[in-house]
Structure 1
Amino acid sequence: MKWSRRVFLFFASFTMLFSGWAQDKPNIVFILSDDAGYADFGFHGSKEFKTPELDKFAKNAVRFSQAYVSAAVCGPSRAGLLTGKYQQKFGFEENNVPGLMSKNGLTGDDMGLPLDQKTIADYLKEQGYRTALFGKWHQGNADRFHPTKRGFDEFYGFRGGARSYMPFGADNELTRNEDRLERGFGGFQEHEGYLTEELADEAIAFIERNQKNPFFVYLAFNAVHTPMEAKEEDLKKVKGLSGKRKTLAAMTIAMDRACGKVLDRIKALGLDKNTLIVFTNDNGGPSDANESSNLPLSGTKANHLEGGIRVPFLMSWPGKLKPNTVYENPISTLDLLPTFVTAAGGDVNAIDGLDGVDLLPYLQGKKQGRPHETLYWKKEARGAIRHNDWKLVRFPDRPAELYNIKEDISETNDLASKYPQKVRELYQMLFNWELTLERPLWQLERRFEGLAAKRMDSYRKH
């Protein structure tokens, strides 16, 4: 009898210890917008776009003034943040999946995040987290690439890169299988309302179900990616704008409202003080497609000027990070994985090949200096390197350009002819980095490189 009582007390104590350990781990909520313009947020100074919920969040968060993505388009950018590695290391060049690809390499549904790469969700599951993705996947359409096979316990969203915000039916015809809305694996279920709101509601429901244990939510809005579809009630709130820009502003209102709904629910449940929250965007705004604004940055989505790769970025963790502050040093979305895994109690030193770093010691003043002295970008012959405040941009159709980003955020003053030795130095650094990469597993048809050059020139500030 005494032995049974001892066994009972042991297991009861162990259960209480485990429960306390689990609850000490922070919940992690990662919110990603899609194709938003750098300037199209109130917390970045926009007077045209209304984002009161994110503005309120920014006042309780750290705002990063020099946050970068690892690619200037959706799919590879997400591959980088999901793995914490430059995606070119495993052949995921800066081309979306699937797409109009060259006949050399993988095509169609054979394209996707390689199966030998572990994701943020994989690592957080190892730390006892319940994991979920709501929204856009864009890491491969084939079943073997499915989110529920890549570390996510739950999935409600679509496998492709874009889809309608309205329910498919008689008045809105489904044309591609990857646009179908899916619950779990293969449980296709069309939504009833505006998709941005539906995704937020699904994320809230998951949080409510899992509030007693640590959870990881990846809320990957397709907002504000094309197609340009807004709710009529939101269009009526937009004054002084017309055309796509008016629609974009209305779509942003809906996304901001959805973010606020999730953040408010976290607070109402009493989870806010132990929840690490990040909001960012996947690449620069495609000014030609949705009339987004990246000012004062030059360039747009799909190129390596600042407007293609610099993004809004907010991070909050009450009691751990000082609110309403600005972090000035360059960081990368590659840093999300090591930051999240470390916060969860994991050891990122045991993960081979990471290019991201844990940001928390820098934000808390425990480490000085820059998280990254050097950052790289590459798409076939195009590439860029930022080393401290110098940035070299390499093109296939013209000489390389050199900028001092600290003094010239808009990249209007090309210093290549003035500092030829710096050009050679950075060119060699970029080349040496490229020697460490895999050959691309797929490549876009060559004609699109010409279109990319024209797009860039149309949205330069000089």
Structure 2
Amino acid sequence: MLIIAVGCKELPKDQDNPDSKPNIVVIYLDDLGYGDVGFNGSKVLKTPNMDRLANAGLRFTNGYATSATCTPSRYGLLTGKYPWREKDAKILPGTAPLIIGADQMTIPKMLKTKGYHTGVVGKWHLGLGDGKLDWNSKIVPSPNEVGFDYSFIMAATQDRVPTVYIKNGHVVGLDPKDPIYVDYDKNFPGEPTALDHPEMLRLKWDHGHNNSIVNGIPRIGFMKGGKSALWKDEQMADTFLKEAEDYVTAQKDGPFFLYYAMQQPHVPRTPNPRFVGKTGLGARGDVIAEADWCVGEFVRILDKQGLLDNTLIIFTSDNGPVLNDGYRDEAVEKNGDHTPWGPFRGGKYSLFDAGTHVPFFTYWKGKIQPGISDALVCQVDLLSSLADLVQSDIRTQDSEDLMDVFLGESQQGRSDLVLEATSRTAYRKGDWVMIPPHKGPAVNKSVNIELGNSEEYQLYNLKVDQGELNNLATSQKEKLQEMIAGYDQIVGKTEIKTEALELK
């Protein structure tokens, strides 16, 4: 989920006066589906704090992440560049080098040229170091080298090692006498894994999560040492919330930019005991309720510090939902009538719409009028849009300036958009979406999600077929050719020739 807190677009002429510039906050949830929130129609799962903010702001019915998985979508958001243009923008292990280049433009870098203090709190998952990572020394490069003045992060995901917090390039609470070692290829002698010691587990794994055990939870990857630095999973939400609150409190005189990247509802879902059983939907529902509470508490701090009048909030998620994503946490069994994917088809990992069509709204007390916008917007547009807001000339290739749309002053969003899921791409233009032929299974059986792969072109009209059930590629050949041409102009020629599919 994403929150952006910003001030007025028509800034005072005195650009060098810090008091004249708005604050900007981004809150980004992890795997939150379009249908997981009340403001998008959820009747089963309650999200009162998110709803209150959304209903007082501008809700986007066509808001998109750039990708159906986490690393690429975060890359697209921060850099304003389509992730499919970057070969390393894939789901990364915790030991991967930083994939944002030292000379690459980012939102925080752009804002720093306008005098902003910049911070990131929460999930990073864009790589760290330069390929020779030593967790026991200062980690360089880190978020601090790509535009952030302050960083308090986890390296990758909650289900991957290392299971430690990193503050400004240093592992928090590390005892030098107990150094950390991390490896994604082989285990360290004597270290227990889920395969060797299932009796140590308090959360059972289903697929892909059977390596090192930390806090009774099996992870992806192997880790040794660093006992004093290990995070406590059930306290993670509170830890990140306090860091976010402390940051805005310390920087309340502004201008500041905070990227608050929450970890919920990504696996392992470990709600604080205060939220266990709160929703009746199992751990997944409970961590969303926990996240909703965090949003409410964070906004309360903004209000307490007198910052809401000068704060724009944009709320979104890094990709669509998934139920069973590697742990047996009863997400499937207790889901009941809840529809995390909303009216759409697919989910996380999928080229179908639920993979990238996510919750998205902007809020700005007294500036944005409450309402609903059908404009097509994407997280990749935030860099250029925020640059316009702070009167910067910086723009990037794929990022469109939609600040008027985000403020509710225009309904003219993007004309088209290229979407991505695990290096496969699709194309949306207007109400139409075209998925070119892609090799691979039709369904990811581990997570029970349709991926959108087919040997044939797929063409859907989302205005009348939100569930993408009626493939019009055969009956609407002229429209298909138009979509292929638009796609090829951005991405390049499709792999399978149109002649082979009898499109002429």
* TM-score, normalized by the shorter chain, greater than 0.5: yes
Report matched runs for 1:410-421 at 5 Å. 410-421=467-478
Report matched runs for 1:1-400 at 5 Å. 21-93=17-89, 95-98=90-93, 109-110=96-97, 112-142=99-129, 143-163=139-159, 176-177=161-162, 179-189=163-173, 190=229, 191=231, 194-239=235-280, 241=281, 246-289=282-325, 291=332, 293-322=340-369, 324-348=370-394, 351=395, 353-363=396-406, 367=410, 370-378=412-420, 382-394=424-436, 395-396=438-439, 397-400=454-457
Q: CA 1:364/1:336 → structure 2, altered by over 3 Å: closer, same or farther?
A: closer
Q: CA 1:364/1:237 → structure 2, altered by over 3 Å: closer, same or farther?
A: closer
Alpha-carbon shift at residue 22 of structure 1 (Å)? 1.2
In 2, Cα distance between equivalents of 1:408 and 1:90: 32
Residues 177-220 of structure 1: per-residue CA shift (max 9 Å, x gap)? 3x321121114234566111211111111111111121111100
In 2, Cα distance between equivalents of 1:405 and 1:140: 36
Q: CA 1:118/1:381 → structure 2, altered by over 3 Å: closer, same or farther?
A: closer
Residues 41-72 of structure 1: per-residue CA shift (max 9 Å, x gap)? 11111122121111111122111110011111
Give the aligned length: 390
SS of alignment partner, residue 67 of structure 1? strand
Is the Cα–Cα contact under 8 Å of residues 362 and 407 in structure 2 kept in the other structure?
no
RMSD between aligned alpha carbons?
2.4
Q: CA 1:211/1:372 → structure 2, altered by over 3 Å: closer, same or farther?
A: same
What TM-score results when the alignment is normalised by the length of structure 1?
0.79
Residues 419-462 of structure 1: per-residue CA shift (max 9 Å, x gap)? 1222222223222322399xxxxxxxxxxxxxxxxxxxxxxxxx
Q: CA 1:125/1:325 → structure 2, altered by over 3 Å: closer, same or farther?
A: same
Is the Cα–Cα contact under 8 Å of residues 197 and 254 in structure 1 kept in the other structure?
no
Alpha-carbon shift at residue 111 of structure 1 (Å)? 5.9
1:407 aligns with 2:464: yes
In 1, Cα distance between equivalents of 2:143 and 2:493: 28
In 1, Cα distance between equivalents of 2:318 and 2:73: 6
The equivalent of 1:9 in structure 2 is none
Aligned AA for 1:267? D
The equivalent of 1:104 in structure 2 is none
Is the Cα–Cα contact under 8 Å of residues 80 and 334 in structure 1 kept in the other structure?
yes
In 2, Cα distance between equivalents of 1:365 and 1:377: 24
Residues 283-314 of structure 1: per-residue CA shift (max 9 Å, x gap)? 01123425572021100111111110100011
The equivalent of 1:430 in structure 2 is 487
- What is the identity percentage for the equivalent residue pairs of Structure 1 and Structure 2? 30
Alpha-carbon shift at residue 367 of structure 1 (Å)? 4.8
In 2, Cα distance between equivalents of 1:38 and 1:152: 29
The equivalent of 2:132 in structure 1 is none
SS of alignment partner, residue 223 of structure 1? coil
In 1, Cα distance between equivalents of 2:363 and 2:113: 23
Alpha-carbon shift at residue 262 of structure 1 (Å)? 0.7
Is the Cα–Cα contact under 8 Å of residues 287 and 301 in structure 1 kept in the other structure?
no
What TM-score results when the alignment is normalised by the length of structure 2?
0.73
Is the Cα–Cα contact under 8 Å of residues 78 and 107 in structure 2 kept in the other structure?
yes
Q: CA 1:293/1:216 → structure 2, altered by over 3 Å: closer, same or farther?
A: same
Q: CA 1:131/1:39 → structure 2, altered by over 3 Å: closer, same or farther?
A: same
